[in-house]
Structure formats: structure tokens, C-alpha cells
Amino acid sequence: MKSNKFHIIVIALIVTAMLITSCGQPTPLPTIPPVEEIPAETAEEPVEPTAEPAAEEPAAEEVETEGVPPAITTEDRMGIAVGKYPNQYDLAEFEELSGGKMQFSGRAEIDARLVEIFGDIPADVSERLPEEPLVEVPYYEIGKYGGQFEGLSLGPESGNSEFLSVRHANLFRYGEDLQSVVPYIAKDYSINDDLTEFTITLRKGHKWSDGEPFTTDDVLFWYEDILMNKELTPDLPSYWVFGGEPMVIEKVDDVTFVIKTAAPAPGLMFWLASTWIGPFAPRHFLESKHIKYNPDINAEAEAEGFASWVEYFFTWHGEWVDSVHRLGVPRLESYLMVEETTEYQLMVANPYFFAVDTAGQQLPYIDSTRESYSQDAQVLELKIINGEVDAKSQTLSFSSVPVFKQHEADGTYKVSLIEAGSDGINLGFNATHKDPALAEIFSQKEFRYAMSMALDRSEFNKVLCFGECAEISIGVPIHPSASFAKPEWYTYMTEYNVDKANELLDSVGLDKRDSDGWRLRSDGKRLVIFLNYTIQSVSSDAMNLVKSYWEAVGVKVELKEIATEAYRSMVSNNDHDIATFTSGTVLEPMFISNQYRFTPPFGDKVLEPITGLPWAEWMASDGASGIEPSDDVKRLFELTQQFKVSLPGSEEYVKTGQEIGDIHMNNMWLIGVLGSPPSVMITKERLGNFSPMKITSFEFYRFYPYRPNQWFIIE
Amino acid sequence: MAKYALRRFITMVVMLVALSLIVFVILELPPGDFAERYVHDLRQSGAQVTYGQVEYYRHMLGLDRPWPERYLNWATNIVTRFDFGWSLTYRLPVTKVIGDRIWFTIILSVVTIGASYLIAIPLGIYSAIKQYSTGDYLLTILGYLGMATPAFLFALLLLYVSTMYFGTSVGGLYSLEFQNAPWSWNKFIDLMRHIWPAVIVLGTSGAASTLRTMRATMLDEKNQLYVTVARAKGVPENKLIQKYPVRAALNPIVSTIGWELATIVSGSPITATVLSLPDIGPIFLKSLTNQDIYLSGTILLIYSCLTIVGTFVSDILLAMLDPRIRYGGIE
């Protein structure tokens, strides 16, 4: 028998704890039980059996009705010609090429949660589709409705752009070739010869997820009242500015608008195809939250606890089109949020989605998607091994490949390695160092060649990458996957040759050594390189290897790991010996619209300058301040200006691009140590119509070019 | 007693106001803010944003206003209508973010703390009475192991074993049918069925140290003269132990019991992160690293509030348990 008093204590403790927590936190309590009545799993079950006949319906009709076009796939075109864009048709185009008349069908049941959020939804699918829906050609087979796509990310807005790309919908997308721009929400586009006028047409009868029409007015609302509103957008982001002037959007009619730019904007279409920003917003919904249309909005915002209407407005509308956190905001994406907790986000198929497959079934096939959060990388891996995730590559570390492979056999998933498209580990000597003796050494390209040849890239590869990385240098800021890339850019001066490295170092005035064998600078001091790095960009293992290779050729290296903030203040002050941080990759869609990696300081000047901050200053001030750069650097600025206004794929584009690459190769401002490891892609076997990917990277918006809306769950 | 309680209560309120300010200032101290962090994350994932755009996001989130103004706004809203502001990470009201998880956190913590006391105190008593017996040695070894093993490591081992050998879902706390269901009695029962691994992981180190404390104080008390006197008077051994040394030996444990109140709501950030437990710990950790100041500020405020209240509760419990404690001090 235990002491009665002890029990009293425990009970008293529990009771007080309950009381106090409920006192301190009165508001959350009523919100705890989610209002949602039907658990997701049980909600799907009734849908599925009824969905199946719906899926077979068009196939049955095909036999009976003469006029229905054949349900083709990209594998089996059944003799129907490829249209203007390879894997999709316009409705009229498809009907003309196939000589049939399409019949549309949709899910048998509309999710009750959607009705609760958006009101009544017409049962007839043709009332929900645009008059001219996009006809998508599925990759391998015509899918069927049902199932839930399980995604996993580190947290809301953290390592989840891949999941967002599953439902992403923008005016355009990159085609599967990752070279062409293909209409998506937009019906089509045309560009004038000067590359200054972009005429874009929308789909007649396209509807927001609340059934209201989506028209040019929604584009204009975004442009006039959000982008050009000084309160909402005090500084216009550079990607909407051409030739120093903001772009202008003009309405032609309800489904046509023109974007006009002050200077040729060859990159604009590519930017529109890959950006996370949706250049449209639901006017009918947001007007009541905008001060121009609702003068009382400040009071309403204050009543909600916000200091001004601006912050309040941004809880309804986000620049990132897929980042949804409020129920009821009309959307165009393939999935709509119905529930959000701190553990997951649940989305269900958009009943107004604008695309159908070749059998006339409204896409997407999969009923719902769920993004669960797991902050811990190990737990994330365990969940994948356990088969709880349908497709995932973002944030998975290459070093986990063996673990995934080990369980591939007994798991239900498949491991594939996909080009990541990033530039790997890079080192950039600061040729504009404040110390004149170091600046003199670092600015000689022979010195940089020598330091590159001192690196044993094959050992690097074995230690850091299981031998799976390409032993190349991506110091040229143009990725090998680019249309005009030259192979020699990535192998120039990369052979491991200690003798040659020593010879080169001797030849640049570093031939004297002290009694410990370290090389001496021209002023007689020992040459010491302070290699300060942040583990956010490079691993300590990699930096220790670098140190050992360079010390083997007589160059003393002092290694120090520092915080990212410290790194940033060091490089933005031009206080660094060597730069190690490169973020923002060098893929084509990126440098088509933004060429900041081409010219000094070869990176964002706050966090990632490599070298040449004073050069950039000299160029910007026409020689008034800064340091005069070499002719090569001046030429680089000139070429970049030309590149900016040349049409991608044109002769001029290739020529200037290649000259830029050549100058970079010769100067080796950045020494690429190793190509980046491939991305690990995990896909469940049950995921149908998942096509092989060329590159997985944010620049192409991850899954978006590979049309996740035609994925389906194989049962 | 009432006067004593009232005086303590007034001090508590003053301290809370001061604390809210301190909390906010401390959260403002580290370099950078959420906007910078956000732009940095965007760049890391490959998005084309420049650091110049930090200002834009700052404006969008209202972080460009001076901190005293933001503090006042935040504090006023808390006092006038219990509105703790918006979480910048989740883009949801803070009350909703915390509210989503608070019941689970409380249940988990109460079960954990309750279980660890229920197990550790009797074992501590046993260990002290049967000092140097096999059982005592065994408990001593277990106690030291429990105290020395970091909980997150224990959690990882448990996860590894359960995934690799039993193939169970990782961090699954509910059966599938209850995962999205609102709270109900059946869900609670279901949770109780799945909660034990988390309770073991979270409770082990606490139980181990309670066991050691209990054993040490019991050893001090059991040889006191008053025990000998009672025994000489023929009080039955069981009753004697319960009535005299145990009561005295509970003192150090009871005086710290109030501190556990904050733990009840805080959970344990790292272990809970490892176990993917839906309690407040991981959210707190994340809000700190993301510099989501309204969320982390609110959680810190609740912790401080509970620590203060907890101390108050401890004092009162102690006064109830130990008649030697007087209210007035020396007059």
C-alpha cells in the first residue's frame, strides 16, 4: 500500500496542470478538435469503387461511338500525329487530328470537404472544364481515379518545393526536353520579332476553384493592384524589370493580354515557365481585402490583430503561388487544400482543373495528396524505407544511397539516381584581395591552374561520393547540360599532377621556401591561405582533403569552420582569401533570365561573392572607384549585356554564351573540385505514369515538367 | 495562507510582464530575422531571389517596423484578446499552431511524469531499504544507465529496432483510423495503446534520477533516531516506513515537482523531433531556428509562466506535506 498523500500530490499536480494550461491558453482550446468529420482514409474508400466504372466509361464508349478520338499515350500514338507541342494538344487540334469528338468524364463523387469550402459544385464535368481544356497525352497508360499521394517534407515551406511541384500550375511549363516552353494554364503564346511584346491567350471558360471565371482581369489585378501597388510591393523585383523599366501588361480581351517590355526580354518566357510566382490572382476574391476596393480594410485588418492591411492581405495571397495556408482562396492548381495542421497538409483534386487525358477524363487522376512533416533527417529516411512515401528526392542526402539500396529489395520502392543540376564543390581565390601581396599571387591564373592540378579528384570522388560523381570542374558558370556547353570547359587543368603544379607555382614567383618547406610570398612572409568555410555549403571532410593536397605542394592552409553569418560578413567586406559558397545553380533556365554568375563578383554580392567586388564597382562607376579589371573581365561584362538580349537558341546566343564560357575556362576564377553528386529519387512501384526525369532541380520546378497530374495509383 | 498566496500572485503577474519583454528582446538579439532566413532558404533550394529582396519579405511580414512597436502590438493583442499573433513559418495563428498540439503534449507529459514517479519512488524506497542487496545493485546499474543515456539516442535505437525488426510505422502514435479523427474517448484509448515507447524514452532519465534521489534521501532518513524510536515502540515495519522516513525523504522531490509543470507543456524538443512526436517540442525548436519570433516568443512565454506557477504550486504542496514549513518566516 502506497502513501495516500502521494496519490493526492499526483492528482493535484495533474489537476492544477490542466487548470493552468487551460487558463494560460484559452483561445486554442476550442480549435483543437479539427472540424473535419470524415477521416481521409474512410472518405476515399467509397469513392474508389464508384470511380472505376467512370474510368472505364470512355473506353467502352470508344467501341460504341464512332466519333470519340482514340485514347492515345506517348508510348502508343495510334497513328495520330504529334501536335504543335509534343505531349499535349489543344482540344480543337486533337479533335481535328484524330477526326473525333471528345466526350468528357470526371470523378464519380465530389469531395464533401470541397463543397464545404467552396460551395456547391456542378456534377456535370463539362460545366467545370474550360470550353477548350488542355488535352494531355499520358505517358504509358490511361490512368484511373483514386488513391492518395503521400509526400514527406521537413516542415511547411521547408524542403517541400518538390511536393508543391506536384500540384503546381502556371501559365507555362518547361517541356519534358527541358528546352522548350509549353503552354499550361495559358492556351498559347506568340512573341514579336523584337522580343518586346508577348501575346498570351487564356482558355475560354476557365474557372477558379470556386466556379468563378478566370480571365485577363485576374492577370491585370495581379499586375496593377499587387505588383505595381507601392504598398504591397515597395521594390519591384528585378525579374519584372527590363531595360530599367517595369514590364507593362495590357488587356486585349477577356482571354488575351500582352506583356510589353522596354528592352528585348528573351528570357521572359523561360522565366514564366519556371517561376514559382503566379502572374494572376483571384480578383473577385481579393478585392475585398485590397485598400483600393475596400477603404475600410485597415480597420478590418486591425480587428484581426494586424498592424496594417498589407500584412493582412499577404495572409490571403502569397507571392509563391503554391504556398497556400488559408482555406477558401480560389486556386487553379490541380489540388486544393482542405486541411492543414502542424503535422500535415491535405489536398484533394481540383474539380475545376483545366486538363483532360486523351480519353476525356478530367485530370488529375489521384484523388488526394498529403504532405506530412518530419523534421529529423533520420526519421525521414526510415519512413521512406518503410514505404510511407510515394516520390521523394529533395533533401535526401547522397550518402544515404547505400541504406536505401539495402532495403530496395524488400521495400516497395525503387531507387534511381538523377542528375541534380548543381555545380558541386567550388573554390574561388580572391584575386582582388585587400593584401596586395596576396592579390598579386591570387590574380595569376597560373597559380589557380596549379592549385587545381594539385587536387586528386579521383580520391575526392571515392571519399565523398562513393566514386559516383563526375571528376570534372564546374568552375565555368554554365552547367554541362546547357545547350551550348563545351565539354573541354569542365576538364581544363583538372588532371592530377603534383609535379606540374609545383612547376607552375615556382614559375609565378613562389619558388622560395622557408626552413619548414612552406612557400614564401614576394615580401618574404610565409604564404598562408585562410580557408574559412561554412558547413552549410561544404563539408569539413572536403575541406580537410583540400588542405592536405595544397600543403603537399608547399602552400600552408589554415582551416576554420565559421558560422554562415560570419562567412557572409567576411565575403561581402572582401576580407576573404578564398570563397567556398556557391548557391543558386548554373542551369540554363536560370542564366537565361539572370546572368549574375557570369560577371564579377560571380555570385550574389551579399552572401556569395567569389572575387572581384572592386572590379564590379569600377565597371558600375565608370572607373570612378574600385579597381580596374583586366580586359577579359571587361569583355565579360560586354558579352553578358549581349547575351541578355539574344534569343535563346539563336546563333548570337550560342556564340556569346560560348565566348563567356571560354573566358571563364581560361581564367579559372572558380576551381571546380568535383561535379555534384546525383540526386537520389525514391519512387513507389504503385505510382503509375511516372516518367524518367532528366534533371531534378528547382530551376525546372522539379516534377512540374513531367506532369504529375497524370500520375495514378496502380492497385 | 490566503495572504501568502495573494502576495505571491501579485509578484507573479509583475514578473510575467517583465518576462514577456525580456523574451521578445532576447529573440530580437541574434543577427538576422525570419525574412533573411526565408530568402536564404529560397536561394538554397535554387529559387532566383537576391538578397535585396529580404526587404520585400520583411515588408510583407511586417518585420520592417521597429521592435518596440511590434512588441507593443503583440503584447496588447495578448492582453486584450489572447491573440498571440501569426506564426511566420506556418502562416497560421499561433494559437492554432500550439492548440493543434497542446492536448497531445499534456497527455504525453502527464503520463510520462506520472509513470516515472510511480515506478521510481517505490523502487527508490526498496533500493534504500535493501541497500547492497542484488536488487539494489541491479537498480543502481539501471539507474546510472538511464541517467547517462541521452534520450534522443535511446529514441533512435528504439526506432531502428522497431523499423528493422518489427516493421512498424515510424513515429506512428495512432491507428490509421484515428489519424485524422477529432479527439474522442476511443482516440484517447488508441493513443494510450501506442504511447508507451514514447513514454519509455522520455521517462527513463527522469525516472532514473528520481530513483537515485529517493534512494539517497531515504538512506539519510532511515537511520534517524525518530525511526529507531518508532521501531522500538513496536510500530509495524511497513507502516513505519511509510509514515516517517518516506514522508521526509519525499521533500526534495516534491519541492521540484512544480518545475515539471513547464515540462508538461514543453515536451522535449530533440527527442520529440527524433520520434516525430506531434508535441510542442519540435515546433519550439523549429521556431527558434527559423527566427519565427511570435511563435517562439509565445512558447517561451508559456514556459516562463508555467515555471513561475509551478514554483508556487511546489511551495504550497510542500507546506501541505511538511508541517515544519511555516508561512510567515521569522517575525
* Average model confidence (pLDDT) across chain A: 86
**Given 3-state DSSP classes, what are the helix, strand and coil percentages for chain B, each rounded to the nearest 5?**
75, 0, 25
Q: Which of A627-636, A692-701, B292-301 has the highest mean pLDDT?
A: A627-636
Query: Are the beta carbons of A24 and B306 separated by less than 8 Å?
Result: yes
Chain A residue with Cα closest to B109: A14
A357: which residues sit within 8 A by CB, 6+ positions away? A71, A135, A136, A137, A138, A142, A143, A363, A365, A710
Query: Are the beta carbons of A21 and B45 separated by less than 8 Å?
Result: no
Instruction: Using the predicted structure, report yes or no on whether residue B204 has a pLDDT greater than 90.
Output: no
Instruction: Using the predicted structure, report yes or no on whether residue A212 has a pLDDT greater than 80.
Output: yes
Residues B69 and B145 in one domain: no
**Whether residue A601 has a cis bond before it, omega within 30° of 0:** yes
Q: What is the pLDDT of residue A544?
A: 94
Query: Are the beta carbons of A24 and B321 separated by less than 8 Å?
Result: no
Q: What is the pLDDT of residue B266?
A: 67
Average pLDDT over residues A643-655: 89
Instruction: Using the predicted structure, report yes or no on whether residue A514 has a pLDDT greater than 90.
Output: yes
Q: Give the other-Cβ count within 10 Å of B255's Cβ.
A: 17
Average pLDDT over residues A518-532: 93
Residues B192 and B294 in one domain: yes
Q: What is the pLDDT of residue A54?
A: 40
Comparison of pLDDT for A176 and B185, the residue scoring more: A176
Q: What would you measure as the largest C-alpha separation in chain A, in angstroms?
A: 93
Residues B114 and B44 in one domain: no
Tell whether B186 lies on the interface with A, counting CB pairs under 8 A: no
Q: Is residue B14 part of a domain?
A: no
Q: What is the pLDDT of residue A688?
A: 94
pLDDT confidence tier of residue A210, bands split at 50, 70 and 90: very high
A168: which residues sit within 8 A by CB, 6+ positions away? A276, A321, A322, A333, A701, A704
Interface test with B, best of A376, A679, A696 (most B CBs within 10 A): A376
Interface test with A, best of B9, B19, B60, B184 (most A CBs within 10 A): B60
Q: Is residue B88 part of a domain?
A: no
**A569-611: per-residue pLDDT in tens?**
888 889 999 998 876 668 888 888 788 889 998 987 777 888 9
Residues of chain A above pLDDT 90, percent: 59
| Alpha-carbon gap, residue A55 to A143, rounded angstroms | 8
Interface test with B, best of A342, A385, A565, A588 (most B CBs within 10 A): A342
Residues B219 and B125 in one domain: yes
- Tell me how many domains chain B contains: 2
Q: Is residue B76 part of a domain?
A: yes
Here the cell at position A75 is 508510348
Here the cell at position A137 is 497525352
**Given 3-state DSSP classes, what are the helix, strand and coil percentages for chain A, each rounded to the nearest 5?**
35, 15, 45
pLDDT confidence tier of residue A130, bands split at 50, 70 and 90: very high
Q: Is residue B306 part of a domain?
A: yes
Residues B135 and B214 in one domain: yes
Which residues in A lie closer than 8 A to residue B309 (C-beta atoms)?
16, 20
Q: What is the pLDDT of residue B33?
A: 83
Shortest Cα distance, chain B CAs vs residue A32, angstroms: 5
CATH domain A425-674 topology = Dipeptide-binding Protein; domain 3 (3.10.105)
Residues B218 and B297 in one domain: yes
Q: Is residue B7 part of a domain?
A: no
Average pLDDT over residues B149-171: 74
**A260-281: per-residue pLDDT in tens?**
999 889 889 989 998 889 999 9
Interface test with B, best of A1, A13, A373 (most B CBs within 10 A): A13
Which residues in B lie closer than 8 A to residue A327 (C-beta atoms)?
none
Identify the domain containing residue B292 by its residue range. 100-330
Residues B55 and B141 in one domain: no
Closest alpha carbon to B90 in B61, B123, B112, B69:
B61
Chain B residue with Cα closest to A537: B44
pLDDT confidence tier of residue A428, bands split at 50, 70 and 90: very high
Q: What is the pLDDT of residue A250?
A: 97
Q: Write the residue in B170, B180, B313 that is nearest to A383 by C-beta.
A: B170
Q: Which of B58, B83, B108 is the last residue of a domain?
A: B83
ipTM of the complex: 0.75
**B273-285: per-residue pLDDT in tens?**
777 777 888 888 8
Q: Is residue B16 part of a domain?
A: no
* Average model confidence (pLDDT) across chain B: 82
Instruction: Using the predicted structure, report yes or no on whether residue A185 has a pLDDT greater than 50.
Output: yes
Average pLDDT over residues A551-565: 90
Domain A5-281+317-339 has CATH 3.30.300.30: no
Do A5-281+317-339 and A425-674 have matching folds? no
Which residues in B lie closer than 8 A to residue A368 (C-beta atoms)?
none
**A389-408: per-residue pLDDT in tens?**
999 998 888 888 988 998 88
**B residues 31..90 contacting A (CB < 8 A):** 31-32, 38, 40-41, 43-53, 55-56, 59-62, 65, 69-70, 73, 77, 81-86, 89-90
**What is the secondary structure of A103-129 as a DSSP string?**
--B--SS--HHHHHHH----SSHHHHS
Q: Which of A15-19, A48-52, A225-229 has the lowest mean pLDDT?
A: A48-52
Instruction: Using the predicted structure, report yes or no on whether residue A34 has a pLDDT greater than 90.
Output: no
Q: Find residue A245's DSSP bridge partners.
A: A242
Residues B66 and B196 in one domain: no
Tell whether B240 lies on the interface with A, counting CB pairs under 8 A: no
Which residues in B lie closer than 8 A to residue A394 (C-beta atoms)?
45
Residues B121 and B252 in one domain: yes
**What is the secondary structure of A282-303 as a DSSP string?**
-HHHHGGGSTTT-TTHHHHHHH
Question: Phi-psi category of A202—alpha, beta or left, where left has phi over 0 and alpha has psi -120 to 50?
Answer: beta
Ordered by start, the domain boundaries in chain A are 5-281+317-339, 425-674
Tell whether B269 lies on the interface with A, counting CB pairs under 8 A: no
Shortest Cα distance, chain B CAs vs residue A287, angstroms: 18
**B31-42: per-residue pLDDT in tens?**
778 888 888 777
**B227-273: per-residue pLDDT in tens?**
999 989 998 988 888 888 888 888 888 877 777 777 766 667 878 87
Average pLDDT over residues A165-191: 94
Which residues in B lie closer than 8 A to residue A382 (C-beta atoms)?
159-160, 163, 170
| Alpha-carbon gap, residue A250 to A295, rounded angstroms | 26
Q: What is the pLDDT of residue B222?
A: 87
Q: What is the pLDDT of residue A583?
A: 63
Q: Is residue B22 part of a domain?
A: no
Q: Is residue B181 part of a domain?
A: yes
Q: What is the pLDDT of residue A294?
A: 95
Which residues in B lie closer than 8 A to residue A395 (C-beta atoms)?
none
SS3 A338: strand
Residues B175 and B312 in one domain: yes
Instruction: Using the predicted structure, report yes or no on whether residue A53 has a pLDDT greater than 80.
Output: no
Interface test with B, best of A4, A25, A395 (most B CBs within 10 A): A25
Domain harbouring B149, CATH code? 1.10.3720.10
Shortest Cα distance, chain A CAs vs residue B146, angstroms: 23
Query: Are the beta carbons of B106 and A1 separated by less than 8 Å?
Result: no
Residues B71 and B117 in one domain: no
pLDDT confidence tier of residue B180, bands split at 50, 70 and 90: low
